[in-house]
Structure 1
């Protein structure tokens, strides 16, 4: 899956998320694609997905959290 494909997939998931679960879905998508986007800056991620630059901090947090979750046994391919 290309970077552009990942951004489109995230955009679609966010568009389909219930309004009260938008942030949850955003975090889940960030965790799901963290490995594929490890060379992407938070600013590039926000631009690619169409998020405000302030969400870049969340992207960085989720990318770091993903490593700990995977060490505990999470399989991000199942998300």
Structure 2
């Protein structure tokens, strides 16, 4: 799946999330697509999804967390 399709999927998921679940959905989407977005920067992620640059830190955290979750058995393809 190409980056633009991933960005579009994330934008859609965030747009459909209830207002009080936006951050939770954002984190879930970041974990779900972390492997596909290994080669991009946090800045590129925020620009691609249309988030404020300050969310770049969250992207970096979730990408790092994903490796630990996968080591514990999480299958990101099931998210």
Please report the TM-score for the alignment, with normalisation by the length of structure 2: 1.00
Cα-Cα RMSD: 0.2
CA distance in 2, matches of 1:2, 1:64: 21
Shift of 1:59: 0.1
1:50 matched to 2:54? The reply is: no
CA distance in 2, matches of 1:40, 1:6: 12
Shift of 1:42: 0.1
Structure 2 gap segments, 5+ residues each: none
Match for residue 3 of structure 1? 3
Shift of 1:33: 0.2
1:20 matched to 2:20? The reply is: yes
CA distance in 2, matches of 1:70, 1:40: 20
Please report the TM-score for the alignment, with normalisation by the length of structure 1: 1.00
Shift of 1:60: 0.1
CA distance in 2, matches of 1:39, 1:59: 13
Match for residue 30 of structure 1? 30
Structure 1 gap segments, 5+ residues each: none
